[in-house]
Amino acid sequence: MEKDYNKTLNLPKTEFPMRGNLPEKEPKTLANWESDKLYHKIMEKNKNKVSYVLHDGPPYANGNIHMGHALNKILKDIIVKYKNMNGFKAPFVPGWDTHGLPTEIKARAKVGSEKAKTMSIKELRTLCAEFAVGYVETQKEQFKRLGVFGDWDDPYVTLFPEYEAEQVRTFAKMAEKPGTIYRGLRPVYWCPKCETALAEAEIEYANDECDSIYVKFKVANDNNKLSKFGVDLKNTYFLIWTTTAWTLPGNVAICVGPNFEYSVVKSGAEYYVLASDLVKQTMTEGKVEDYEVIGKLSGEELENMTAYHPFLAKYSKVIVGDHVTVESGTGCVHTAPGHGMEDFEVCKKYKDLSVVVPVDSRGILTAEAGQFQGMHISKASPKIIDHLKDIEMLFAVKHIQHQYPHCWRCKSPVIFRATKQWFCSVESFKNDALKAVDSVLWNPAWGRDRMISMISERKDWCISRQRTWGVPIPIFFCKECGKEIIDKDVMMRIADIFEKEGSGSWYEHDANYFLPEDFKCPHCGSESFRQEKDIMDVWFDSGTSHAAVCSHRNTLKVPADLYLEGADQYRGWFQSSLLTSVAVSGKAPYKNIVTHGWVVDESGRKQSKSLGNGVDPVKIVKQYGADVLRLWVSSADYHSDVRMSQEILKQLSESYRKIRNTARFILGNLYDFDPNKDMVKHQDMAPIDRWALYKLNQILDKCFNGYDTFEFYEVFHSIQKFCIVDMSNFYLDIIKDRLYVEKADSTKRRAAQTAMYIILGSLVKIIAPILSYTAEEIWSYFPKISSDNHESIFLNDMPQKVDITVSDEFVNHWNTVYKIRDGIKKILEIQRKEKVIGSSLEADIVVYCGDEMKKFIDENISELKEVLIVSGLKTADEKGIGQYTVEGLEDFSIDISHSEFGKCERCWTYDKTVGKNKEHPTLCARCCDVIDN
């Protein structure tokens, strides 16, 4: 009667599925995390540990999340989970930025243009709030689905009354310091489409086509300095150059460089004044070939001359300024103080020059533009150029393309427009801000220089916006004397009201509601006031989160340990947070800054709807699962731009499969292993088991370093290599024989199981911050000891390195074994493909090598046979060269033949003892021994 020896093998058994089926299983795991209140259990477990605070930069609540959101939140989640499993209490309070123009535009669009015109402020703000809160809830669910842990039940939202109150208190503390908050007439970036001022952080540059023009300003009074060259003043002109013809109505001056040399150029009957260095270039642009320089003088000598405006009944004064260059143009700079900061500053030095702003909030020219009144600036420019041609005041025109500032919200070109705005004077605390920058660790390191440069070059921050949906600037104006009331105590009173009623109360009550009883104007004694209508810049909203959130919640702290956002936040949230914090406390609100790049397609192009190359994270999760998306985040060097495509996702899915299969193989071979009683001491393990634990320690070092330095790709690549190269292709492949064939409770088998148990127990913890859903699933199948938290992998700590010591000799020994196996295995694979052998166990190998290697092999024949998974191995008795040269080993070749012995039915080894046992004629001696015992 034939015996079924397969039943005597210890074949793998596990219910842990081979296929992840993540899109279906992950929501169930998420539901369990939520119902079990896992995040709060983690906080309770870690309550007495050192605090580590990663403060969440608030995304804007105006739509579904995109890949940039996914990258950002997963990066944060990896850090928070790692810290919580590695000795810290790391709370995560998610936040949302909710005020601002995009939401207001959506609200107005929803009701239609006609209804929007008659809608009350209260109605509009209510509608805006509904929009924002709706998107907060949408994004919240999408972030949670990514596996992100946090205090989702109690996030911070900038429209919450308690947040708005703290924002006003921060403003009050800043305003208390003389000169920090002030109101003034200054040119600011202005978006005619959005009808509001913009800060530098809200500007982006894009290509723009325009006409660059050279315009003639006829000399009116030369102070007798040009006449000496014999010019005809009726035909003498200053030549200016500009790319914004629509700003010409705002011209009040022509600015020259005081130390530059200027030439008087004669061409035909006309004379032109321009910088000597730019004569040739300018004449070329004007297609003037016949000209001569008849005189020269310094820019300083030109000062206080006057010229006629080319088409308006007014004069233009010649002034001097150090900002003038001779790199382009004519060296005679068209100066309109209402349309440029440098123009504005230089004109302040001349008391007789006024600031003219002939354009309204919508970009429409006013009466001060003369015949061009009522035209939009985009249509006015070509009309002005045509008019200059008609009146023969256009010297040259050229169509060009250049980088021009655009509104980052509506993507339309912006203008410089002088209006009365509220400013924060960065100049007043700039030195403290620069010192604060140096107190921060920047990752990448170039972040420090970038922030230093931005702050050094910044004088003011325009913090007022001419909109409705936002936090009102808490300042009053006296109706009698017109002066502003900047009073800290009054603002603190307003903050208290906002905390109870919300900032919408500003529009529902008059000034007296917010002012103390019998309050009088400190300037004139009047008791009649009106509120400021402008709201605060949204960067001021989010930039005060250190005060409204980190200082306000006892689970958080200031400074936070880490801010992590996209590299664009150097001009945004990183900077506004730093400025508001330094202005109030003199210190940075964070200890460490880490930045990531943009998500781009596989060709390196920024993802966008117009290009059709965007990848939706919600769709990815539905197709592949959140853990594959998380694996993508961990695999990238995110400090630069990160590529994303379907092909990349397919590759990562394969990486995920290999990691999962490694875990499944181990779980399948631990089915009868009880770590509470079956563990084998390290000294009783086989050398290869100890080698595997040594490799585990190496991988843990690399992973810990990767997590600690925020280089998560180091974690990903280390784990991937460990699972594929060290485990699947080497250790786990080799020990299959021991696991399946040896007696179930033998020391040899238990030793291999012990090593695998330690390896998977460490691996599941080290991957948990990245593959959160999968780690939780593995943990539910993993055999545990009493000291483990059985409920969740995240209620356990990161693994400790194995207490095992290996010598250099041991390491060198296994490096040699590895090389031998790697080289011979390639030849065995060729033999298998050529059908010389069916499997490596059919092979009988003879090795030809040098004396030292021969000695090594002869002393380790048994071990090498196990490692090579072959039935026969020996070294040649005589010197010679084998048929196959082994790559990577010098003076090393082999012969391979099919084993001449019989095949053991149970272990498949070809051995001379097969057939020697009458009871088990198809088994080798080893298998007979296992069966009989």
What's residue 609's pLDDT?
63
DSSP string of 87-126, one letter each residue: TEE-----EEB--SHHHHHHHHHHH-HHHHHH--HHHHHH
Which residues does 112 contact at the CB level (< 8 Å), separation at least 6? none
pLDDT tens-digit series, residues 815-869: 999 999 999 999 999 988 888 888 999 999 999 999 999 999 999 999 999 999 9
Residues 396-406, mean pLDDT to the nearest whole number: 83
* Rama region for 850: left / alpha / beta (φ>0; ψ in -120 to 50; rest): beta
pTM of the model: 0.88
What's residue 110's pLDDT?
86
In the predicted structure, residue 178 carries a pLDDT above the cut 60: yes
What's residue 290's pLDDT?
92
Amino acid in the structure at residue 362:
R
DSSP H or E stretch at residue 893: strand 892-898
pLDDT tens-digit series, residues 62-74: 889 999 999 999 9
In the predicted structure, residue 559 carries a pLDDT above the cut 90: yes
Please give the Cα distance from 355 to 665 (Å, whole number): 78
In the predicted structure, residue 748 carries a pLDDT above the cut 70: yes
- Interstrand relation of 236-242 and 270-275 (parallel, antiparallel or unpaired): parallel
Residues 453-462, mean pLDDT to the nearest whole number: 91
Please give the Cα distance from 188 to 761 (Å, whole number): 60
What's residue 917's pLDDT?
92
Is the link from the previous residue into 783 a cis peptide, with omega within 30 of 0?
no
Higher pLDDT, 190 or 743: 743
Closest C-alpha to 702, from 713, 688, 691, 692: 713
Closest C-alpha to 692, from 738, 633, 635, 651: 738
- Is 591 exposed, middle or buried (CB count within 10 Å of its CB: 0-12, 13-18, 19+)? middle
Residues 93-110, mean pLDDT to the nearest whole number: 90
Torsion sign over Cα 542, 544, 548, 554: positive
Residues 738-754, mean pLDDT to the nearest whole number: 96
- HSE-CB of 410 using CA atoms within 13 angstroms: 18
Edge-to-edge strand list for the sheet holding 54-55? 54-55, 562-566, 592-596, 441-443
Higher pLDDT, 562 or 378: 562
Length of the chain: 933
pLDDT tens-digit series, residues 467-508: 899 999 999 999 999 999 999 999 999 999 999 999 999 999
pLDDT tens-digit series, residues 757-806: 999 999 999 999 999 999 999 999 999 999 999 999 999 999 999 999 99
Q: What is the DSSP letter of 520?
A: -
Rounded to 10 deg, the angle between the 430-438 and 573-585 helix axes is: 110
What's residue 2's pLDDT?
66
Beta-sheet strands, E only, within 734-778: none
Neighbours of 823 (CB within 10 A): 17
What's residue 614's pLDDT?
76
Share of the chain above pLDDT 90, in %: 83
Residues 870-877, mean pLDDT to the nearest whole number: 94
In the predicted structure, residue 345 carries a pLDDT above the cut 70: yes
Share of the chain above pLDDT 70, in %: 99
The pLDDT-based confidence of 195 (bands split at 50, 70, 90) is confident
Closest C-alpha to 623, from 634, 632, 635, 610: 632
In the predicted structure, residue 318 carries a pLDDT above the cut 60: yes
What's residue 466's pLDDT?
85
In the predicted structure, residue 202 carries a pLDDT above the cut 90: no
Residues 379-393, mean pLDDT to the nearest whole number: 94
pLDDT tens-digit series, residues 635-688: 999 999 999 988 999 999 999 999 999 999 999 999 999 999 999 999 999 999
Closest C-alpha to 783, from 809, 754, 803, 817: 754
In the predicted structure, residue 610 carries a pLDDT above the cut 70: no
DSSP H or E stretch at residue 634: helix 626-635
Least confident of 203-217, 257-271, 720-734: 203-217
Q: What is the DSSP letter of 471?
A: P
pLDDT tens-digit series, residues 409-426: 778 888 888 888 899 999
What's residue 234's pLDDT?
93
pLDDT tens-digit series, residues 212-225: 899 999 999 999 99
- Which one of 79-83, 614-618, 783-787 scores highest in mean pLDDT? 79-83
Chain mean pLDDT for the chain? 93
- Interstrand relation of 54-55 and 562-566 (parallel, antiparallel or unpaired): parallel
Joined tokens for residue 80:
């928070």
Answer yes or no: are the C-beta atoms of 164 and 500 closer than 8 Å: no
